[in-house]
Amino acid sequence: MPKLIVCGRGGCGKSTLVTLLARTLGAREKVLVVDTDESNLGLCKMLGQNPPEMSLMASLGGKSAVQKKLLASLQQENSEKANYFKENLSLADLPSACVNWDGMVGNLRIGKIEHSMEGCACPMGSITRSLLKELEVNNNEWVIADTEAGVEHFGRGILEGADLILMVIDTSYESVLLAEKAKGLAEEAHKKFFVVLNKVDEATEATLRRELADRGIEVGSAISHSSDISGANLVGNSLDANMQRDSMDKLVDKIVRLCS
Ligand SMILES: Nc1ncnc2c1ncn2[C@@H]1O[C@H](COP(=O)(O)OP(=O)(O)OP(=O)(O)O)[C@@H](O)[C@H]1O
Ligand SMILES: [Mg+2]
């Protein structure tokens, strides 16, 4: 099954969608959740899991080792993109200390900012690009990457190995503008793209659907504003797929139709 990237503006509900989707799929299929966000720490809590023993960046020798490899690749004559993994990498090939499996759902962290003045997050972006490109999944395995806010990761090329880009749209005009931008970037990279509305009610859903239709942007599903979700998040409790069962089932059907 596909490798998905979930993106959107800050606080729109990317990690929430990743979690609800992983919980829905994890009832019957294997799902690797890849946390590519170098700042936020809450994804594991939403999943109800502990973080893995170490980040993927740590397993590759740490940030400075990755940075060296990245710089060396940029200095090559044909400026090859840095690669950290073998071709046809399977989920089973990932270092066991880097994935915490709980039943069918596993979580992996690319790496987090750990120290002040430690420099930019380019090494994390480079690892993510390489991982998504080399990971091979079979028919009952999914990879879902949660990203940091905005579209910087599009510039870092993490789309390369992805099959589908899902953008979360909250009830803001900024989200609509960002979706227009992201759709163009996804098209440029020849990637499938659609959006999921989040935190909507009847009126805001109708307005967003109109604004997005005017821009030729396809809406795959809509998640209503839910006090179950915000309440759980407020105290670090995990999310349950049943909180948005219909929207998630609709979304899974749509992804399967588009990607099979
Ligand atoms: N459908 C929803 N109903 C109510 N609250 C929601 C909903 N979706 C998300 N939230 C709340 O919105 C806040 C942000 O959600 P989340 O952390 O998933 O966003 P994000 O896009 O991952 O944020 P960031 O850009 O910081 O990574 C959280 O408090 C979450 O509980
Ligand atoms: Mg997040």
Q: Which amino acid is at 158?
A: I
Q: What is the mean pLDDT of residues 34-48?
A: 91
Nearest listed ligand to the Cα of residue 11: 1
Closest residue to atom 23 of ligand 1, CA basis: 11
Query: Ligand 1, from 230, 239, 245, 246: best to mutate by most atoms within 8 Å of Cβ?
Result: 230
Q: Which DSSP helix (H) or strand (E) runs through 132?
A: helix 122-134
Q: What is the mean pLDDT of residues 23-28?
A: 92
At residue 53, the 3 state secondary structure works out as coil
Say what the pLDDT of residue 194 is. Answer: 96
The string of pLDDT tens digits covering residues 139-168 is 899 999 999 888 777 777 788 889 999 999
Closest residue to atom 26 of ligand 1, CA basis: 11
Token pair, residue 215, equals: 């821009």
Query: How far does the centroid of ligand 1 lie from the alpha carbon of residue 68, in Å?
Result: 35
Q: What is the mean pLDDT of residues 174-178?
A: 96
Span 3-259 CATH architecture: 3-Layer(aba) Sandwich (3.40)
Closest atom of ligand 1 relative to the 199 alpha carbon? 1
* Distance set, CA 15 to CA 20, 149, 210 (Å): 9, 10, 25
Token pair, residue 159, equals: 């789309």
18 CB neighbour count, 10 Å cutoff: 29
Secondary structure string (H, E, C) spanning 148-179: CCECHHHHCCHHHHCCEEEEEECCCHHHHHHH
pTM of the model: 0.95
Query: How far does the centroid of ligand 1 lie from the alpha carbon of residue 67, in Å?
Result: 31
The string of pLDDT tens digits covering residues 227-240 is 999 999 999 999 99
CB-based burial of residue 1 (10 Å sphere; 0-12 exposed, 13-18 middle, 19+ buried)?
buried
Instruction: Domain ranges for the chain, please list them.
Output: 3-259
